[in-house]
Amino acid sequence: MNVYKISGRIGQGAHGIVMKAINVKTNREVALKRINYRRPSELVPMHVFREILCLKLVDHHFVVELLDVFTHSLGCVLVFDFMPSGLAEMIQDDEFELGEAEIKSYMLMLLSGISHIHSMHIMHRDLKPANLLIDKYGILKIADFGLGRLYHHNQTVVYSHQVATRWYRAPELLYSARHYDKGVDLWAVGCIFAEMLTRTPLFPGENDIEQLALVLYTLGTPTETTWPGLSSLPDYNKIVFPESPGIPFPELLPDSDFEIVDLISQFLCYDSSKRPTAIEAMHNAYFFKKPTPCPLCNMPKPKADHRRQLANKPSFLNVDSSMEEIFQDLNELISYELSSSSSQSSDLSDDSSSSSCSLPTMTRHSYIRRLLRKKIKKGCFKTQSLDSLSDKSKEKRSKLSRSLSFLCFASCATSRLH
């Protein structure tokens, strides 16, 4: 540890903290990922062992390089090159142009790295913008192999379903599949691709049930035809959602060319065996039409303090980024309903014994959920309220309208556990 001089803190994860440091012998800027063990007598935790193993096996230009590993105090330290930013920050920072040429280059770097990882029979299992780092030259590097796992084509091998960050988790994992393959990584690639195009997460669920609801509502209700083996998944019979026809991809990705819509729809396929491999995706027509991918030497280059600069900016908000923000806009949409809440409270009650005095005890969000469920189910929601929001753009009104429909869809889900 004496070789490194700590110069700052980069961030903190579930298993430890990441510090910025300088190698005093070489003057090289590095990132130190310090992982603390839970107990002094504990051996190297499995997730640490797997991360080290995966990084030792993988040697690729678009994957972070493990420079060193050493024990320290009650844990160990992994040493990497310092990366001033990540794809999450590049998406969030509107000062950086994310044109189609830049997105194509990021996608090709990601797919090239994933192709090599999969060729080594490794599943990453936690691909997301925050785990795709950007170096000072603008080059994307796949990082954080804490959930990485060697995989086998033998479908009898059992894996954990509690992997991947929720917003990028493949539907088979949401249904608790224990047998899966590299297709879970390709689903995440599709989510990342869509997020770069819209600069907002495609499926921002706040819990596992809501995440599954978002996927089913957006892509449409799957069947055994579109998803062979669906009914045999462990959690398939635990909850049922109303039928959804799905949202056409051109609506989700307005102004996107056919090639973009086609490639994303291939990644976001329920049947994982039909998702394109990374190599197949790299040969998609999308990457060969103009504008051509941005040369790597011309990619946006983040400053050394990009993360700190971004932290001082106002939060990046979008109507699709969280249910909290959706509710803020929904409050405006149904303000005319809330103004007469006293007369409506009896209509909201699920049984005749409830009275209007129970309304104040509800949370505002619970009230809105129940109101939307009643109103939309009866087909009496006043859609003209959308037009009254003159300060909202047409696109935002469209997103809010979809949010209303989704809330109704999710609230109508019924459990099969009882």
- The per-residue pLDDT for range 152-190, each reduced to its tens digit, is 776 677 777 777 789 999 999 999 888 889 999 999 999
More confident residue, 180 or 264: 264
Entry pTM: 0.77
185 an active-site residue? no
> What distance in Å separates the CA atoms of residue 167 and residue 215, rounded to the nearest whole number?
10
Q: What is the mean pLDDT of residues 264-285?
A: 96
161: closest CA among 150, 175, 149?
A: 175
Q: Which residues of 57-85 are buried (b: 16+ CB within 10 A; e: fewer)?
A: ebebebbbebeebeeeeebbbbbbbbbbb
> What distance in Å separates the CA atoms of residue 409 and residue 377, rounded to the nearest whole number?
10
Read off the pLDDT of residues 184-225 as tens digits, 9 standing for 90 and up.
999 999 999 999 998 888 988 888 888 898 899 999 999 999
> What distance in Å separates the CA atoms of residue 234 and residue 143, rounded to the nearest whole number?
31
> What distance in Å separates the CA atoms of residue 300 and residue 224, rounded to the nearest whole number?
44
Q: What is the mean pLDDT of residues 123-135?
A: 94
Q: What is the pLDDT of residue 8?
A: 85
Does the pLDDT of residue 403 top 80, yes or no? no
For residues 213 and 412, the answer to whether their CB atoms sit within 8 Å is no
Domains of the chain, start order: 4-81 (3.30.200.20), 85-311 (1.10.510.10), 323-415 (no CATH)
Q: Which residues of 242-266 are buried (b: 16+ CB within 10 A; e: fewer)?
A: bebeeeebeebbeebeeebbebbeb
Q: What is the DSSP string of 57-106?
A: H---TTB--EEEEEEETTEEEEEEE--SEEHHHHHH-TTS---HHHHHHH
More confident residue, 62 or 38: 62
Alpha helix stretches (DSSP H) within 100-143: 100-119
Q: What is the mean pLDDT of residues 46-55?
A: 87
189: closest CA among 259, 122, 52, 282?
A: 282
Dihedral in degrees, nearest 10, Cα atoms 173, 176, 179, 180 = -10
* CA-to-CA dists, residue 93 to 307, 312, 315, angstroms: 10, 11, 10
> What distance in Å separates the CA atoms of residue 31 and residue 18, rounded to the nearest whole number?
6
Please state which of the ranges 16-30, 79-93, 192-206, 331-345 shows the lowest mean pLDDT.
Answer: 331-345
* CA-to-CA dists, residue 128 to 168, 179, 191, 277, 281, angstroms: 7, 22, 8, 17, 18
Predicted confidence band of residue 353 (pLDDT cuts 50, 70, 90): very low
Helix (H) / strand (E) element for 8: namely strand 4-12
Catalytic residue among 81, 93, 94, 126: 126
Backbone angles phi, psi at 44, to 5 degrees: -60, 120
Q: How many CB atoms lie within 10 A of CB 326?
A: 23
Q: What is the mean pLDDT of the chain?
A: 78
- Of 225-229, 275-279, 408-412, give the range with the top mean pLDDT: 275-279
* CA-to-CA dists, residue 1 to 72, 92, 306, angstroms: 7, 34, 26
Q: What is the mean pLDDT of residues 344-366?
A: 38
Structure tokens at 324: 């909290």
Report DSSP state, residue 270. S
How many Å from the N-terminal Cα to the C-terminal Cα in the chain? Answer: 56
* CA-to-CA dists, residue 236 to 68, 162, 196, 272, 417, angstroms: 44, 16, 31, 16, 11
20 labelled binding-site residue? no
Q: Cis (ω within 30 of 0) for the bond into 40?
A: no
Q: What is the mean pLDDT of residues 55-69?
A: 94
Predicted confidence band of residue 311 (pLDDT cuts 50, 70, 90): low
Q: What is the pLDDT of residue 387?
A: 43
Report DSSP state, residue 283. T
Q: What is the pLDDT of residue 418?
A: 43
Please, how many CA atoms are within 13 Å of residue 165, restricted to the half-sphere of its CB? 20
Q: What is the pLDDT of residue 46?
A: 79
Q: What is the mean pLDDT of residues 357-365?
A: 34
Residue showing tokens 């929001």: 389
More confident residue, 41 or 124: 124
Contacts of 388 (CB under 8 A, 6+ apart): none
Q: What is the pLDDT of residue 414?
A: 55
Q: What is the mean pLDDT of residues 378-384?
A: 40
Q: What is the mean pLDDT of residues 85-99?
A: 88
Q: Give me the numbers of helices (H) and strands (E) for the chain, helices first please.
A: 15, 12
Residue showing tokens 């983040």: 302
Structure tokens at 339: 């103004």
Please state which of the ranges 100-109, 162-171, 408-417 shows the lowest mean pLDDT.
Answer: 408-417
The one-letter amino acid code at 157 reads V
> What distance in Å separates the CA atoms of residue 184 and residue 148, rounded to the nearest whole number?
12
